């Protein structure tokens, strides 16, 4: 069931990896060699190997001596069983660890697969099929401190976001931070940004906004790939693929940081001169 879930969720690439791991797990000869290499690499002590049921290959566990092991096939078989048992334990744990790592890495990658910057603001795109505008806003504000849904206030910002999405072959429709009051029935009136910025610049698709499903049916703003990333008022969650978030407070540019540092050094120098002068 776990392997099927990986196949459905991540496609052929993970399917190949997991089946390769199954192949290693079912091949005792290579499996034993890999475990010995792993133990040697980790510098596991012989005493610890004994606890795992894996020995050096020279002495059988149990009542058999070195001589017994060299001369007695039964002793060799007992040693082989002991090694196999330890190998299975180690390989099972290794595979579970690797699968867990793949799962966590996959979630992290899919959760925030695309990010960029523009004029001191940081942006990221979250893939989340069918998320409502309210849930998207809450998700950003609860989990990403200093971020909110993106507010596009200049042609340059619109062009930058459009370029990033196009260059990365993103498709679908994504929420932005624009909204109307719930009682507004005129599709073109009273649009606001959640950040409180002035809703002056607009980049609506032709014939948008239009409350397509009836008065007051589309009161949140999204940008859509099928419209060349121009804006659309939206109310149908089946069209939504996620949302775009933006840092609320601008990140200082490198030059600003340098100037600030120089200023602090200058102030420190003035303070030292006054101190020694007094």
Per-residue pLDDT of the chain (278 residues; tens, 9 = 90+): 344 333 333 433 443 444 444 554 555 556 666 667 776 776 666 555 555 555 444 444 445 444 444 445 555 555 555 555 555 666 666 666 666 666 555 555 444 469 999 999 999 999 999 999 999 999 999 999 999 999 999 999 999 999 999 999 999 999 999 999 999 999 999 999 999 999 999 999 999 999 999 999 999 999 999 999 999 999 999 999 999 999 997 655 554 444 545 555 454 454 444 444 44
Whether 98 and 136 map to the same domain: the answer is no
Domain boundary among 64, 81, 110: 110
- 3-class DSSP state for residue 204? strand
Give the Cα separation of 21 and 257 in Å (integer): 49
Please give the C-alpha separations between residue 240 and each of 130, 162, 201, in angstroms, as whole numbers. Answer: 5, 17, 23
Whether 125 and 235 map to the same domain: the answer is yes
Q: Which residues contact 202 (CB under 8 A, 6 or more apart)?
A: 231
With respect to residue 79, please indicate whether it lies within any of the assigned structural domains. yes
Closest of 95, 101, 99, 105 to residue 23, by C-alpha: 95
What is the reported pTM?
Answer: 0.55
Whether 226 and 103 map to the same domain: the answer is no
Q: Are 171 and 201 in contact (CB under 8 A)?
A: no
Whether 89 and 210 map to the same domain: the answer is no
| Total residue count of the chain as it appears in this document | 278
Q: What pLDDT digit, counting tens, does each position of 74-97 carry? A: 555 555 555 555 556 666 666 666
Q: Which residues contact 113 (CB under 8 A, 6 or more apart)?
A: 125, 127
- Can you give the residue range of the structural domain that contains 72? 2-110
Domain boundary among 58, 86, 110: 110
Total structural domains within the chain: 2
With respect to residue 278, please indicate whether it lies within any of the assigned structural domains. no
Which CATH number characterizes residue 125's domain?
A: 3.10.100.10
With respect to residue 63, please indicate whether it lies within any of the assigned structural domains. yes
Whether 72 and 170 map to the same domain: the answer is no
Whether 118 and 151 map to the same domain: the answer is yes
Give pairs for 57-62: CB < 8 Å, separation 24+.
57/83
Whether 130 and 223 map to the same domain: the answer is yes
Q: Strand pairing partners for 179?
A: 192, 220
Give the Cα separation of 194 and 197 in Å (integer): 8
Question: How far is it between the farthest Cα atoms of the chain?
Answer: 94
Burial of 207 (C-beta count, 10 Å sphere; 0-12/13-18/19+): exposed
Q: Are 58 and 83 in contact (CB under 8 A)?
A: no
Whether 118 and 162 map to the same domain: the answer is yes
With respect to residue 268, please indicate whether it lies within any of the assigned structural domains. no
């Amino acid at each position: 069931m776990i392997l099927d879930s990986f196949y459905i969720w991540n496609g052929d690439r993970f399917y190949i990896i997991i089946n390769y791991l199954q192949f290693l797990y079912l091949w005792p000869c290579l499996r034993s060699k890999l475990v010995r290499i792993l133990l040697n690499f980790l510098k596991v002590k012989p005493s610890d190997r004994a606890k795992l049921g894996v020995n050096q290959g020279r002495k059988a566990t149990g009542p058999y001596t070195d001589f017994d092991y060299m001369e007695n096939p039964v002793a060799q078989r007992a040693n082989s069983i002991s090694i196999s048992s330890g190998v299975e334990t180690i390989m099972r744990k290794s595979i579970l660890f690797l699968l867990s790592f793949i799962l966590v890495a996959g979630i992290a990658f899919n959760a925030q697969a695309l990010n960029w910057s523009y004029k001191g603001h940081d942006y990221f795109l979250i893939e989340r099929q069918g998320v409502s505008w309210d849930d998207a806003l809450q998700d950003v504000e609860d989990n990403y401190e200093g971020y909110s849904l993106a507010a596009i206030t200049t042609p340059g910002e619109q062009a930058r976001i459009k370029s990033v999405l196009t260059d990365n072959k993103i498709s679908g429709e994504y929420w932005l931070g624009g909204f109307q009051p719930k009682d507004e029935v005129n599709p073109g009136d009273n649009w606001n940004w959640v950040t409180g910025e002035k809703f002056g610049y607009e980049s609506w698709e032709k014939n948008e906004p239009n409350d397509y499903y009836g008065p007051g049916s589309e009161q949140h703003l999204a940008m859509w790939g099928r419209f060349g990333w121009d804006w659309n008022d939206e109310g149908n969650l089946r069209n939504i693929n996620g949302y775009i978030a933006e840092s609320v407070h601008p990140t200082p540019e490198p030059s600003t940081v340098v100037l600030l540092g120089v200023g602090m050094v200058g102030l420190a120098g003035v303070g030292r001169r006054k101190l020694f002068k007094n």
